Amino acid sequence: MKSKLIFSILVMLGIGLSSVSALPYYEPASLVMFPFYTVGDSNTNLILTNTNNVEGTIIRVTFINYFDQLKSVSCQEFNQDFYLTPNQQIKLMLSDSLYTGSTGFVAVTAINPDGSLKDFDYLAGIAFISDIQVTPYVYDNYNGIPFKKISNNPEYDNAGIIMFNETYTALPEKLIEDFYSTIDPEYSTTKFAIIPSEDPTEPNLPSYNLFSFVNGNVNMEFENYIWDNNEYYTSDYSESETCGLYLYINDIFNSRKTNSGWIEFTRNKDATPGITAGYNIGGIKIFTDLVDRQYLGVSNLHREGYQQGKLRISNSPASPSVTSLLSG
Amino acid sequence: MSNKDLGKKIQALLVFSLAIIFLASAVSAENITQTPDQDVQQLPMSIPTLSTFSAHKDAVPDEAGSFLVYPYYASSINMHSSSFTQISITNTGDKEVIVKLLFVDGSNCLVSDNYLTLSAHQSTFFSASDYVPETSGFLIAYAVNNTIDNKPAKYNHLIGSARVSAVISGVYCDGEYNAYTFKALNYDYPLLSLTFDNDHFEHWPNTLMAPGILPLPEDYRQFVILVTPSFDMLQNNLVMLVYDDAEQVYSAMSTFTCQLVKVINDDFPRTAPRFDTVIPAGRSGWMRLIKVNDNGAAPMLGLLMTCGQTTLGGIEQIHGACFSNGCQNATLSGGFQ
C-alpha cells in the first residue's frame, strides 16, 4: 500500500504540478527576490530550487549591491545564468562570486534562452545569512519573496521589464515590522534592508540600467506606534542615489534609546518634487542580539496593500554555456 | 545513424514510455478500492489538468489577516531549561479588536484559550509561559466579534511574529519567524465558522516544500515542524519525498496528530537507503511533505528550524502550494468555540 500511495503521489506531482492560485504563503514563483545578502565577515548561502518534476528552466540570478566597501561604489549589477533541471537545487555561496564587503539584494528570474522573461511558477528560494559579530558563529534564514507571473506581455517580457500587478503579482503598499527595539547598540542591533521599485508610470527612464531610478531619492515615511500607550511618531528618512536601503534602526529613531512597537515603511512619492519612484518590492529585518542569547534573527517584513511597480533586469540572451545544456 | 541521433531517439522513447506509465497508473489508481485492512486510503486519482493559471494578483505571504497561525512555541518558567517564546501580535488597523488565542499543546492536542484586546494600532508581545507554562505546541490567534459567542470576525489587520529560544532534544534553537496569516474573505462578520475554502478564509496549502535541507555538523540539527487545522488525536499520514542534489527522489512515510516536531536524521524521513546516505555530508537536498487523507492531499503548515549545540538560529516558514486539483477545504473544529 505504501509504495502504491507514494507512486500515486509521484504521478500526481508529475502531471498536475502547478498551483492553481496564489495563496498567502511562500509559493514557488517565476521571480524570487532576496532583499539582502552580505559577503565578508558575514556570508550568504542562497539555495534555489526548481520544484517542477518534469521541466527544467534557465534562471538569471542578478545581484545588485547596496554598497561595496572595497570599491566604494553602490548599485553595481552582476548576473549569472544557471540551468536547473527538474527537481534540481543549487547552492550559491556568495563569497565565491562577490566581493568581500559587499551587501545588496538578489533577483532570481526564470528566463527563456533569448533572455525574455518566462512564465515558470516553480522557483523556490531560501537564504542563510551568517553573522560573526557574535561569538559563536550564528546564522538565520529567510525565504525569498515570490512573485508569480500572472500574464504575458511581449513588450515587457522581451525587454526584461517586470511589471508588478500586471505581468507579475502585486507589490505591497506598505512594509511593516511588528516587533522592533531600539536599545543600546552595545547590546543589540536592528537593521532593515528594503528594495524600492521604479514608478511604472514614468516613461522617460533610461533602459540600460537595472535600476534606472538610481538618481532618484528613496524617500520613506516611518510611522512608529509605541505599543504601551499608542504614542505615535512619524519620521522621514531619505537617502539619495541608492538602489536600496540598508540602515540601522537607530538612524531612524536616534533620539530614543529604548522603545518597542511597530513601524510602517511607506514610500513618500511626493516628498521630493520631480523625483519619481515606485513602491517597495520587499524588505527584511536583521536583528542581532549581541549579549543575551546571542543570536541573529532575520525575517521578511510583513506586507499590506497592493500596488504597481516596475523592475528591470538584463534582457541579454542567456549565457551560451547554459543554453548549450538545452540542446544537449 | 549517429550515436547522438540514436541517443536522442532512445531518450524520446523513454520519455514517451514514462508518460504512458504515469497516465496508465493514474487511471488505474482511480479503480483501486480500499480494503478494510489498509491503513492508508488511496488518493483520488482523477487525472489533473496542467496548469490552468488563475492567480490572484493580490495574494502574497506575510500579509495582514484575520487568522494567524504560529506553528511552534515552547515555554518554560524554569530559567535553567531556557525554553522561551516571545509572541508578538499587532493590530495595524484603526479599530479596536478582540483576539482569541488558542494554545494547542503539541503532545496531546488539548486547547487552552484566552483573549486579548488590541486598541487601534496597538502592538503587544508576551511570553508563551505567561499563558501555558512548561508546554510546547502551536498557537492560533484570530479576531472575534465578541467574547460571548466567539464568532470569528473579518478584520484583516492582524500580523504576528514569534521569537523562539528553545532547547529541543538537547540542542539550542534560536530564531524568529512570521506567523502565517489568513484573510477573511467574502463574508460580512460575524462569520459562522472557521472554514478555509477561499470563500470564508483563504486556503491552507496541501503540499509543503522545504528547500534548505542541509547536512550539518554533528552538533547541529534541523527540525521539521508541521501543524494541521485540527485539535484531535487522529493520526494523519505524511508522505515525504526527499530529493538529493542529483534530483533522485526517495520516499518515506510517517504519521502525526495535530503537530509534528521531528529532527531530520536517519529515522525521519525514514528513507531507503537512510537519510545520511541520501544526503551525505557536504551535499544538500530538499523535501516535499504531503499529508494525505481520504480525499487526497490535505492541509497543513510548517516550519523548518535549524538548531545547534551552541547558539545557532534559523526558523522559517516552509514553502507551501496546492498541487493537483487544488487545495482541499478545511474547517477548524473541536475547540474553537
Quote ipTM for the complex: 0.83
**Domain range B207-324, its CATH number among 2.60.290.11, 3.40.190.10, 1.20.1370.20, 3.30.300.20:** 2.60.290.11
Rounded Cα gap, residues A299 and B22, in angstroms: 40
Stretch among A214-228, B59-73, B301-315 having the lowest mean pLDDT: A214-228
Contact A8, B29 (CB under 8 A): yes
What is the SS3 string spanning A50-114?
A: ECCCCCCEEEEEEEEEEEECCCCECCCEEEEEEEECCCCEEEEEHHHCCCCCEEEEEEEEEECCC
Backbone φ and ψ for A205, nearest 5 degrees, come out as -85, 140
Stretch among A54-68, A121-135, A140-154, B131-145 having the lowest mean pLDDT: A121-135
Stretch among A31-40, A119-128, A198-207, B156-165 having the lowest mean pLDDT: A198-207
Question: Largest Cα–Cα distance in chain B?
Answer: 80
Q: Write out the E strands in B244-277.
A: 249-256, 259-263
Contact B144, B150 (CB under 8 A): yes
Q: What is the mean pLDDT of chain A?
A: 75
Query: How confident is the model over A231-282, as pLDDT tens digits?
Result: 566 666 666 556 777 877 776 665 555 556 778 877 765 545 444 556 788 8
Name the residue among B121, B209, B310 with its Cβ closest to that of A230: B121
H/E stretch holding A2: helix A2-15
Domain boundaries of chain A, sorted by first residue: 28-327
- Joined grid coordinates for residue B133: 507554562
Residue B146: its pLDDT value, please? 80
Class of domain B67-196: mainly beta
Residue B1: its pLDDT value, please? 44
Residues of A whose CB is below 8 A from B38: 1
Res. B311 pLDDT band, cuts 50 70 90: low
Chain B stretch 28-57, residues whose beta carbon is closer than 8 A to a beta carbon of chain A: 29, 32, 38-40, 42-43, 45, 47-57
Query: How confident is the model over A2-47, as pLDDT tens digits?
Result: 555 555 555 455 444 443 345 678 899 999 999 999 887 778 889 9
**Chain-chain contact of A21 with B324 (C-beta, under 8 angstroms):** no
Best mean pLDDT range from A93-97, A131-135, A178-182 = A93-97
The whole-angstrom distance between B34's CA and the closest CA on chain A is: 10
Residue B164: beta bridge partners?
B85, B175
The whole-angstrom distance between A101's CA and the closest CA on chain B is: 23
Best mean pLDDT range from A155-159, B243-247, B303-307 = A155-159
**Chain-chain contact of A16 with B48 (C-beta, under 8 angstroms):** yes
Burial of A236 (0-12, 13-18, 19+ CB in 10 A): exposed
Q: Minimal Cα distance from B64: which residue of A?
A: A304
Residue B227: its pLDDT value, please? 95
Residues of B whose CB is below 8 A from A262: 90, 92, 123
- Joined grid coordinates for residue B85: 517564546
**Chain-chain contact of B25 with A264 (C-beta, under 8 angstroms):** no
Q: Does A130 touch chain B (CB under 8 A)?
A: no
**Chain-chain contact of B321 with A11 (C-beta, under 8 angstroms):** no
Provide the CB-side half-sphere exposure for A23 (13 A, CA): 31
Domain boundaries of chain B, sorted by first residue: 67-196, 207-324
Residue A201: its pLDDT value, please? 67
Q: Minimal Cα distance from B93: which residue of A?
A: A304
The predicted model scores a pTM of: 0.83
**Chain-chain contact of B314 with A141 (C-beta, under 8 angstroms):** yes
Contact B55, B91 (CB under 8 A): no
Residue partners of A252: CB distance under 8 A and separation at least 6: A222, A235, A237, A263
Query: How confident is the model over B285-300, as pLDDT tens digits?
Result: 899 999 988 777 889 9
Rounded Cα gap, residues B263 and A130, in angstroms: 22
Residues of A whose CB is below 8 A from B243: 87, 89
Chain B stretch 12-31, residues whose beta carbon is closer than 8 A to a beta carbon of chain A: 22-23, 25-26, 29
